[in-house]
A and B are shown apart, each in its own frame.
Chain A
Amino acid sequence: MMLQVEDLHVYYGAIKALKGINFHLEKGEIVALIGANGAGKTTTLNTLSGILRARQGKIHFLGEDISQTPAEEIVRKGIIHVPEGRKIFATLSVMENLEIGAYTVTDKGQIARNIEMVFNRFPRLKERQNQLGGTLSGGEQQMLAIARGLMTNPSLILLDEPSMGLAPVIVEQIFEIIQEINDQGTSVLLVEQNAQMALSIADRAYVFETGMVTLEDEAHKLLENPLVIEAYLGGH
């Protein structure tokens, strides 16, 4: 098992955001976390990547407990978090954003190959490589955020709402890219409001409600689950 989360409790001060979360991800899978606003999806990803600390519970990645590992070390273990809202470094150029993405890579040749690889995947970024990150459109910023995440050749990528605020055509494109990244061997943990899209590419999914996992199943089964249809797929 690649990632196993056990009984995760996370607080913001006195506010309890996660109340004992359990889930897992096998190598090569796309696992989706879906749920309403404020359910605790972002909190979960931030805890996995070390930005937040769990008060209780364990996070095993490739057999090792990383729940106390600092964020900058977790990156070196092969987990990359593409945060909610893209968080592009607006004052750095597109190229510099990619270079910062490869901060933990020491082999210059590897960095050059990875830049080549993401430019092949996102030709738009190549055209705009000298532009400041903050001047990109929303869709381009999302592409840059994913590209920046790929610069370390991660074994697991955490994506937080990659479709947020994007036009349907762009969303389609982004999801195709996620599928491709997964086909090439990177495991994906995908947080989405757009449950339809997420479930259509995921292998399995977990439904979050107010800091707890209330439902888990294979994605195609959840697409037909009346509870999910009612709550997250626009209920028909």
Chain B
Amino acid sequence: MRASTATSKSILLEYIIKRRWLGNGLLILVGLFAVYRLAVELINNPILFFQQVINGLQLGFVYALIALGYTMVYGIVRLINFAHGDVFMVGAFISFYGVTRLQLHTWVSSVFPSFPPVAAQIIGAVTVVLLAMVTCSVLAFTIERVAYKPLRNAPRISALITAIGVSFFLEYFGALSFVFSPNFITYKRPFDVTTWYLNKGGIASLQSGQAIPPGSVIFSNIFVIIVISSILLMLALQYIVRNTKVGKAMRAAAYDKPTARLMGINVDGIISVTFGIGAAFAGAAGMLYAIAFPQVFFWMGIIPGLKAFVAAVLGGIGSIPGAFVGALIMGQAEVLSAAYISTPMRDAIAFSILIIVLLIRPTGIFGEPTREKA
């Protein structure tokens, strides 16, 4: 009896997996329902809806920066680098210390007091983010050399388990009181927050203590900074990957490592560069995330890291545009489900997306069918 239920279940599952149209049909139904629900909400309260979209964009851009690292590393070494979320955490902490201990965000005005204050603040914040990016790159470079490179020819599962080990190492090493901290720490932003409200009457800044005028959506300079810096970083990445010699070598090595070596490419070096770039982006994301949600904690990388991973899978792991699109979808899915279903539903929806994608379209939106390569 039990056995027969089990088989009939597995037959059903197999049917669903094999018959793409059935899976896709289900997905379309769920999707249509979601669109319908959202349309109703949009009509009922467009202001709330647009507010959520803005919040979702802010989150989505941060996820995109993290997801790029997952997808680039996967593209070249076929490894899901589960320590990537913790590199993001390290980036957040480094920027925290850059601001609180080193006062890096104010160096321009203390060295050149006559410098225009806004420009000085921007240069200061950029210095902090660069520090976080460089530190994370060096960290990832070291992790790759010490933990992953010796396993390059081992079965893939070995490297995957090692990545989980590295992840725990970074978390609990970071929790030591002489490293980062075992506690939640309030993050000090390297600039003051300004908020604007936008409504039919136009755009104006919101004074402190002022109530939000009805019928307006609000956004802050944090939103502007996150969107602009993420777009700039992604354009830079696009340029590196498409147009530079290193980027072409990365793509060649991702496709076929032995042949890349026959072209004179130092594949190990290119892999290190890939880890380094991915980690730099995670470091920047760590700082941006901490600016948006001003708190740092040694576990803070786990959930954003996992969600960025889902975003990378949703977009098609290995695909850079996929990571970007997947992350924006994840940002919206999370914020909209928190707003219209319930806050805890946010994470449930995020990981349900992972399961649905893996069942129905494991290659994601932009992914090509898997092609195993050495």
Question: Which A residues are closer than 8 A to B by beta carbons?
Answer: 49-51, 70-72, 75-76, 80-81, 83, 87, 89-92, 96, 99-101, 103-104, 148, 152
CB pair A100–B248 under 8 Å, yes or no, is: yes
CB pair A72–B264 under 8 Å, yes or no, is: yes
Among candidates A49, A70, A92, residue contacting B255 with C-beta atoms closer than 8 Å: A92
Residues of A within 8 A of B258 (CB): 51, 71, 83, 87
Q: Is B43 close to A, CB under 8 A?
A: no
Residues of A within 8 A of B37 (CB): none
Given contacts A75-B262, A100-B263, 18 further A-B contacts (CB under 8 A): A50-B261, A71-B258, A71-B261, A72-B261, A72-B265, A81-B262, A83-B262, A87-B258, A87-B259, A89-B252, A89-B255, A90-B255, A100-B252, A100-B260, A101-B263, A103-B263, A104-B263, A152-B264
Q: Is B221 close to A, CB under 8 A?
A: no
Q: Which residue of A lies closest to B267 (CB)?
A: A72
CA distance A75 to B267 in the complex (A): 14
CA distance A104 to B262 in the complex (A): 11
Q: Is B266 close to A, CB under 8 A?
A: yes
Count residues of B near A (Cβ-Cβ below 8 Å): 18
Q: Is B136 close to A, CB under 8 A?
A: no
Q: Is B251 close to A, CB under 8 A?
A: yes
Which of B262, B264, B266 has the largest number of chain A CB atoms within 10 A? B262
CA distance A96 to B258 in the complex (A): 17
Q: Is B256 close to A, CB under 8 A?
A: yes
CA distance A49 to B258 in the complex (A): 10
CB of B78, distance to nearest CB on chain A (Å): 15
CB pair B251–A72 under 8 Å, yes or no, is: no
Knowing A87-B259, A89-B256, A91-B255, the reply to whether A99 touches B248 (Cβ < 8 A) is yes
Q: Is B245 close to A, CB under 8 A?
A: yes
CB pair B262–A103 under 8 Å, yes or no, is: no
Q: Is B249 close to A, CB under 8 A?
A: yes
**Chain B, 187-215, contact with A by CB distance < 8 Å: what is the 0/1 string?**
00000000000000000000000000000
Within 8 A of A (CB), among B232-276: 245, 248-249, 251-252, 254-256, 258-267
Residues of B within 8 A of A99 (CB): 245, 248
CA distance A148 to B254 in the complex (A): 18
Among candidates A51, A91, A103, residue contacting B245 with C-beta atoms closer than 8 Å: A103
CB pair A75–B264 under 8 Å, yes or no, is: yes
Knowing A87-B256, A89-B256, the reply to whether A75 touches B251 (Cβ < 8 A) is no
CB of A142, distance to nearest CB on chain B (Å): 14
CB of A112, distance to nearest CB on chain B (Å): 14
CB pair A75–B263 under 8 Å, yes or no, is: yes
CA distance A103 to B254 in the complex (A): 16
CB of A109, distance to nearest CB on chain B (Å): 16
CA distance A91 to B267 in the complex (A): 17
CB pair A71–B255 under 8 Å, yes or no, is: no
CB of B318, distance to nearest CB on chain A (Å): 10
CA distance A80 to B259 in the complex (A): 11
CA distance A76 to B265 in the complex (A): 10
CA distance A221 to B53 in the complex (A): 79
Knowing A72-B266, A103-B245, the reply to whether A51 touches B261 (Cβ < 8 A) is yes
Residues of A within 8 A of B264 (CB): 72, 75-76, 103-104, 152
Residues of B within 8 A of A89 (CB): 251-252, 255-256, 259
CA distance A89 to B256 in the complex (A): 7
CA distance A134 to B251 in the complex (A): 14
Residues of A within 8 A of B260 (CB): 100
CA distance A75 to B263 in the complex (A): 7
CB of A17, distance to nearest CB on chain B (Å): 16
CA distance A111 to B249 in the complex (A): 16
CA distance A101 to B262 in the complex (A): 9
A-B contact pairs, 15 of them (CB 8 A): A51-B262, A70-B261, A71-B258, A72-B264, A75-B263, A83-B262, A89-B251, A92-B251, A92-B255, A99-B248, A100-B260, A100-B263, A103-B263, A103-B265, A152-B264
